Structure 1
Amino acid sequence: MKTGKIPVDFATRLDKFSPGKYVMHPDRGVGKVIAWSLPQQKVKIDFEKQKGYVMGLKLAFNQLTPIPESHFLIACYDNAEECRKRADNKESMLDFIRDVLTHNFSLREGIDEVLPMQPEDLEKFLIDRVIPAANWKSWWEKARAAMRDDPCFRMPTRRGEPIVLREAASAAEALLDDYDSQSGRSLEACVRILDQAHLDDVLNGQFEITAKLIGEMENDITHSHNEPQHVLELIIIRDQIIESVAGKDEAKKAQLAQALKAEGVGELTTLAQRLSGITSEEIVGYIGELSTARQNLVYEALPEALPDSWLAYTTNIFLFGGPKVTQPAAKFIIGKGAKEQLFSDIINGIQRQSLSPDVLIWLCKERDGDAAEVVNKTKMALGAAIISAIERDSSEGGPNRALRLRNLLVEDKELAPDLVRGISELDARPFAKALYDSSVLPDLDRNLLLANMMKVHPSLQQVVLTRTTHKEKQTLYVSLRSYAARKAEYEDIVNVRIPKNKHDLEITRAEGDLRENGGYQDAKATRQVLMRRSEELSRLLAQATPTDFRDVSCEETGMGTQVTFVSDKGLEVTYTILGAWDSVPEQRVISYSSKLGGKLIGHKVGDTLRIPIEIGGEQVKMTVKSIVPAPKELIYPDGEIPAN
C-alpha cells in the first residue's frame, strides 16, 4: 500500500479478511480467518459448521460479510459455552440479552451503529448458536417474561417492533413512558401496553404516576375519533386502574383525588357517556373484538346510556355483531328479563330465513339452554333456515360465513336428530329432503346426517330411497364467469394461501407457549378453514359443468334467460336466472337451483305467479311480460365476452 501498488480502499477491505478477523457466511454461519495466502489468493476459515474451509479470495469478497469488532456474534463464537451458561442462568439471563442488544452492530460496511433487534432477530442469531433449537421455546418464554417484568426493557406490542432498552426506572415510570410513546398515535398500542402490564402491582401506591397516566388516557379518550373500540377499552381499563389503586379505602381515594387535581384532571368521561354517542350500526362493526368481560361492561352501561332504547340496541348487536357477540349479548338481555322481545325477533328471523349463521349457531348450541324455548317452538322452520343459510353463503361465493354453521351441523351428532325430535315424521320430511338435496354437503356427511335423523324417525329412509337415483344423475350447471371465479379461488387457496398459512404456523409456533399464543391459534384455525374450503371447492369444481347458455330457448323461463314481470299496477321487475353459483341478490340475479329460481322456471309470456319484488320481501302477483337471453357480461369472465 505504501508503494502505491495496492489501492487504499482495496487494502482496507483486504485487512478485514486477514487472520484473526471474523466473517459471516450465509450458509456456514460465523467463521474466523485462521490463515491466508495472498500469492495463491486463498483464505482458510474455521466456520461454526465447518472447520478449515478454504476459499478463493475473490469468492470470499463476494460471499463473506466482515463482522465488526465487539459484535456479540464474536463472543458467541469464541465463548459459546460461557454464553450458554449466561443465557440459561436466571441471574445472568437479562445481562446476556442486554449485551446482545447493545452489541448488535451493523454488518454493512461503512455503517458503525447498533441496530435494533426484534424478537425474531434474537431467534435468528441465537438459536443453535447459543440456545439449542429443542430448548428455544421454553427459553424464550422465560426470557420474555423476565424482560416484561424488568422496567429497563420495553417489549414490542406487535410483530415488527423492536425490543427497546432504556435507562433504569421504576416499573410505574416505565409504564408511563411506554404509554406516552404511543399516546395520540395508536390507541390500539396503548391498550396492548396496559394489558401486558401487571397494573395491580405496578401502580400500587403510585398515586402521582397513576394520576399522570389517567390524565393521558382521558386526553386520548376525549380527543380520539378514529379508534372507537379502543376508546371504550381505555375507559374500562382506566376505571379498573382507579379501582385497583384506590378501591374502597377512603384515604387512598383522597390521595388519588388530590394527585388528579394536581395534574389538572377534571371530570372523567364515563362509559355510558361515550356509548350514548355511538349507534348500534356502528358498534356492531367492532364490539366483537372486545373480550367477553369487556363486552359485559359495555352491555351493563347501555341502560344508563340509552334508557329508552337499550333493548333494541343490544338486540341489534346480538343479531349482527358476529360470532363472539351472540352469547354474551343474549345472556345480558335474558338476565335483564327482556327475553320475550329478543325471542320474538329471533322467531321472526327464523321464519323469514334472514338470521345470520352466527345467531343460528347460538340457537343450536343453546337448544337445551337459553334458547330452548325458541328452538322448541320453531323446529320445522329452524332446520330450513339452517340449510338456507349454508346454501346462501355457498351460492353467493362469500367469505364462508356459514362454514362454522355447516361444521356444527355435521360434527354435532345430536343436532340433526334434535331438530326433528318432538315433531311428526310428516313435519320432519321437508327438512330431510332439503338436507339430502343440498349441493353444499359432501355425500358422506349428508348420509350420516340422514342416518342420525332416522334414529328418531325411521321412515325418513324413504327420502333416501326415492331420491338416490335422481341425486346420482344430478349435475351442477354454472356460468363460465362463476366457474372461473371458483377456480381462481381454489388455485389461490392451494397455491398461495395454504403455503402462506404453513409459513405463518411455523413462525408463530416458534414463539412458544402455544396455549397462550394467539397468533398460532389464529393460524391453526385459518388452516382448518382453508383445508375444508379447498376440499369443498375441489368437489364442486369436479361436479360442475360450465356453460355459456348459448342458443337458450326463450319460449319459456329457464337457465340463461332474463325475465321481466309486470304487476296489475304497472310495476315492473326483472330477474336473471343463471347457474347454480350465480347469485347477486341486489341485481336480482338468481340461481336456477335456489328456491326462488325453481319457482320462476318453466313459465311462458302471459303466465301469472306470485313473486317478491325484492329478495326476501312480500310476494306480489305478477305476469311474465318478456323472456330474453341473459346479458353476456353476467355469463362470461371479464375480458372474455365474445363480440357476437
Structure 2
Amino acid sequence: MAASTDSSASSTDNTNAFAAPNTYTAGTYCYHRSWGYGRIREVSEATGHLSIDFKGKPGHSMAPDYAVQSLVLLPDSHIYAQKSEKAAALKEMAAKDPAALVTIVIHSLKAQATAENIQTALSPEVIPATEWKKWWEGAKRAMKKDGTYYIPTKKTEAFKVLSAPIQAGSDALAQFRAATGVEAQLLALGAVAKNWTEIADPAAAAEIATVVESTISKLPKSLLAKGIELALLRDELLVTAGQPPVTGPTALLNLVPTTPKGFAEILEKITGTRQIRFLTLIQAGRPDDWAALLLQILPFANGRMGDSVTTIFASVERHQEVVDALRRILRERAVTSDLLFWLCKNRDIVFASLFTPQLVMAILSVLEKDQFGDLKKGTKLYDLVHSDRELMATLLKGASSEDVRDITRAIILSPVFKELDKRSLLAIIIKLYPDMQELVVGDRMSSDDATLIVSWDSLQRRKAELEEVITKKIPENSKEIGIARSYGDLRENHEFKAAKEMQTVLMKRKAELESMIVRAQGTDFSGVETNLVNIGTIVDLVDIDKGDKLTYTILGAWDSDPAQGVISYLTALAQALIKLPVGEIVELQTEDGGKRKVRIEAIRNYKTK
C-alpha cells in the first residue's frame, strides 16, 4: 500500500510546496515519501533538527535542509492527523454518519481518494478489517442517498464531494440523446429507466419511443437480440410512464423469430434478467400459443434458457409440461449438451422423474455427437459426468439389473471417455451393483481391441475429421500458441493457457480418431441375410398389447438417427433383437424405463430398401 499512500499524500492540503524551516513545530503531522506518515515530536532551537515519530521508526532525526526537500506538512483536519488525535470520535462517526467520515478522507486525499486508498486510510485503525466490506457498502449507500457525491465505476477513479446534488435523471436523458448505436442506447436507456421518477416527462417518453423505433428498424439481423432488448426497455419505460405500448413492425412481439431454432438463437444472446422479462411479455402478449412456442425451443436451448422457460411455466403452475417436453427430447436425443449439464447439475426436484437410466443413455449419445462435431461443446457435461460421483448414483437409483447392464456395456463401448475416466465411472457402477464386476472385467478384456463394424460413410467422416485435425486444426493451434507466447508472462497469459488447453483437446481427439479408425471395418451392408435380425437389416415390429407398429434400421457402430429409427448395433435395443427370426416375441425396454412385448413382423435388407 506504500505506493497508494505516497500518491494520496501528494494531493493533500499544503502540498506541492514544501514547508519552510520556520514552519516546523512540535505536534505537527507530516508525510515522507519513504517512511509514510509521522508526527514531529521536537524541533531543536539550536540546530533546527527535527525529531519525528514515524510508524516503526520513532524519534527519527532529520536535518532541516533535508526536511525542506522531503517532508509534506498535514493540516489538523487531515484524516491521518485525526486518526491519532480523535480516534474515538472517528469511530463514533463511522457508526452514526459513515458518509461524513468518507467526506473527511476525500478532502484529505483529494484526487487520490480511490476506494483502495480510502480503505487504507480507515482500516484497520477506525474500521476493523473484518467489518470493512459491510461498512463500505453501507457508506456508499449513504452517499448515493445524499446525492452530493461522485461515486466512480472504476477502481482507479477517485470519489468526490460535489457542490450540488447530481441530477441523475437529466444526465441520463442527455446521455440517451447523445448515444449512437444500439449498445450505447441500451446503456443509456437503462439509466433513464432507473431515474424515471426524477424525469417523469411524458414528452421524453414519447421521444425515446420514436428514437428506439428508428434504431430497431435499421438494425441488421445479426443485432436483432440487441434490438429486442432495446424494445423491452422501451416498453417497460412506457408502462412506467403510463403510455400505451408501441404497435407496428417494431412492437416487441413482432420481433420474435418465427422458427424455434431462430427464436432460441436470439434468446441465447439476450442478457441477464432481460431474458425472463422478455419471455414474461411473450406469455402475456400471446396467451394462446406462448406455451407451444417456448416448448419448441427446448431442443435448441442452453441451460440458461431451460431455466428461464421452467420459471415461466412454474409461474402458472404448468411445470409438468416442461417435464414432458424434456422427456420427449431426451428420448429423441434432440437435446444440447448445455441443457443436459443444467439439468444434471441442478437436479431440481421438479425433474426427478427424468433421472432414470434413459437419461444416462441420452448423455452418452449427446456426448458422442458433440465429440464428433464441436470439440469444445460438451466439455462441461463430460466433466460433470465423470467428476460428480453422486450423479451416477442418482441416475441408477432403483434401476433394474438389465438397465444397469445395458448402461455398463454402453460405457465400456463408448469412445467418449478417457481411459481413467471410464474406469472411474465403471468403479462407481460396480460399487452400487457388485454383480457388474464380472461384466466389466470380461468385456474390457475383449473390447479394447474389438473390431467396429461401420458404414463406409461414417468411416469416411472419421477419416475426414482426422485429416482436418492433423492438417488444419493442430497447425492453427500451434500458431496460436506461438502468438500467445509472444505476449509474455505465461503465468498471467490467458491466451496462452487457452491455446494450450485446446492443444490437449486436439491431441486427445487425434489419438481417439486414430484408435477408432484402426479398429473400424467398413461395409456397405450388402449381401446381409434376412432370415435373422442382423447388422444391415430393417426390422418391422408390432406391439403385442397396443398394436403399434415400429421400424428400426440396425447399422454400424457410428450410425445413429433415433428420429428416423436408425440405431447402432451396439445399442441395447439392437443387441436385444440381433439373431432373432421373424415371429419371435421379445421384451424391449421403452424410453421411459418401462417394458413392452413386441413381435418381429419382417426383416428386410437395408441395402435393397
TM range (shorter): 0.5 to 0.7
Map of 1:149 onto structure 2: 145
Aligned equivalent of 2:303, options 313, 323, 326: 323
Residue 443 of structure 2 is aligned to residue 462 of structure 1: no
Q: Residues of 2 paired with 1:80 and 1:274: CA distance?
A: 63
In structure 1, distance between residues paired with 2:206 and 2:112: 31
Find the aligned partners of 2:159 and 2:426 in 1 and give their Cα distance: 55
Q: Does 1:272 align with 2:197?
A: no
Cα 1:124–1:188, aligned 2, differ >3 Å: closer, same or farther? farther
Whole-angstrom distance in 1 between the partners of 2:249 and 2:85: 56
- After TM superposition, give the deviation of residue 143 of structure 1 in Å: 0.8
Question: What residue number does 2:333 align with?
Answer: 349
Quick check: 1:76–1:129 contact (8 Å CA) kept in 2? no
Q: Tell me the alpha carbon deviations over residues 318-369 of structure 1, each in whole angstroms, 9 at most, x when there is no partner.
A: 445533221222565776968877755554335xxx7223335426756864
Letter in 2 for 1:144: K
The CA distance in 1 between the partners of 2:103 and 2:95, in whole Å, is 14
Give per-residue Cα distances to partners, 1:348-398, cap 9 Å, x unaligned: 335xxx72233354267568645846x6694463242365379679x9367
2: CA distance, partners of 1:426 / 1:268: 57
Counterpart selection for 1:54 from 39, 61, 76: 61
1:126 Cα deviation after fit: 2.5
> Which string of whole-angstrom CA distances, capped at 9 and with x for unpartnered residues, describes residues 60-102 of structure 1?
789x573675874454455441662454242x33233234334
**Does structure 1 retain, via aligned residues, the 8 Å contact 2:38–2:52?**
yes
Q: Following the alignment from structure 1 to structure 2, what is the Cα–Cα distance between the partners of residues 35 and 284?
A: 72
Among 412, 433, 443, the alignment partner of 2:412 is: 433
- Matches for 1:579-594 after TM superposition, within 5 Å: 581-582=506-507, 591-594=510-513
Q: Once the 2 structures are TM-superposed, how far is the Cα of residue 52 of structure 1 from its aligned partner?
A: 2.1
Residue of structure 1 in register with 2:126 after alignment = 130
Q: 1:276 to 1:580 in 2, by over 3 A?
A: closer
> What code does the residue aligned with 2:391 have?
D
Instruction: State the distance in 1 between where 2:356 and 2:411 align.
Output: 18
Query: Given the alignment of the two structures, is residue 45 of structure 1 paired with residue 49 of structure 2, yes or no?
Result: no
Matches within 5 A, 1:239-318: 270-275=251-256, 279-280=262-263, 283-287=266-270, 289-290=272-273, 293-297=276-280, 299-300=282-283, 303=286, 315-316=296-297, 318=298
Residue 145 of structure 1 aligns to a residue whose secondary structure is: helix
The CA distance in 1 between the partners of 2:277 and 2:415, in whole Å, is 42
Report which of the two structures shows the higher radius of gyration computed on alpha carbons.
2
Q: Distance in 2 between matches of 1:38 and 1:407?
A: 79
Q: Does 1:209 align with 2:190?
A: no
- Structure 1 residues 95-174: aligned runs within 5 Å: 95-105=100-110, 115=111, 117-157=113-153, 162-163=158-159, 165-169=161-165, 174=168
Aligned-partner residue type, residue 410 of structure 2: F
| Aligned with 1:177 (options 171, 192, 201) | 171
1:46 is paired with a residue whose SS is strand
Structure 1 residue 127, shift from structure 2 partner? 2.0
Report the TM-score, using the length of structure 1 for normalisation.
0.54
Question: Equivalent residue of 1:359, what SS?
Answer: helix
Structure 1 residue 497, shift from structure 2 partner: 9.5
Farther off after superposition, 223-232 or 152-161: 223-232
Distance 1:392 1:376 in 2: 25
Task: Indicate how the Cα distance of structure 1 residues 165 and 359 shifts in structure 2: closer, same or farther if over 3 A, else same.
Answer: farther
Residue 266 of structure 2 aligns to which amino acid in structure 1?
Answer: I
2:496 matched to 1:601? Answer: no
Look up the SS of the partner of 1:324 in the other structure.
helix
Q: 1:94 to 1:424 in 2, by over 3 A?
A: closer
Does the 8 Å contact 1:217/1:234 carry over to 2? no
- Is the CA contact (8 Å cut-off) linking 2:280 and 2:312 kept in structure 1? no
Is the deviation greater in 141-150 or in 35-44?
Answer: 35-44
Which segments of 5 or more consecutive residues in structure 2 lack a partner in the other structure? Answer: 1-15, 450-468, 526-554, 567-609
2:38 pairs, out of 16, 26, 31, with 31
Q: Kindly tell me: are residues 602 and 328 of structure 1, through their superposed partners in 2, closer, same or farther at Cα, counting changes over 3 Å?
A: closer
> Which amino acid letter does the alignment assign opposite residue 283 of structure 1?
I
Change (3 A) 1:22 1:365: closer
Native 8 Å contact 1:288 1:325 kept in 2: no
Which deviations, in whole Å up to 9, do the C-alpha atoms of 1:419-457 show, x marking residues without a partner?
A: 955853442332342579831765885355223541xxx
CA distance in 2, matches of 1:16, 1:357: 72
Identity of aligned residues (%): 13
Match of 1:66 in 2: 72
* Structure 1 CA distance for aligned equivalents of residues 223 and 106 of structure 2: 33
Write the distance in 1 (CA, Å) between the matches of 2:330 and 2:73. 68
Q: Which amino acid aligns with 2:385?
A: R
Q: Which runs of 5+ in 1 are unaligned?
A: 1-10, 106-114, 246-252, 502-529, 542-578, 584-589, 620-644
CA gap of 1:266–1:16, structure 2 versus 1, over 3 A, is farther
Counterpart-to-counterpart distance in 2, 1:441 and 1:194: 55
Q: Residue 31 of structure 2 contacts residue 72 of structure 2 at CA under 8 Å; is this kept in 1?
A: yes
Q: Which amino acid aligns with 1:146?
A: A
- The 2-side partners of 1:179 and 1:158 are apart by 22
What letter matches 1:133 in structure 2? Answer: A
Counterpart AA for 2:338: P
Count of paired positions: 474
Residues 30 and 300 of structure 1: CA distance in aligned 2, closer, same or farther (over 3 Å): farther
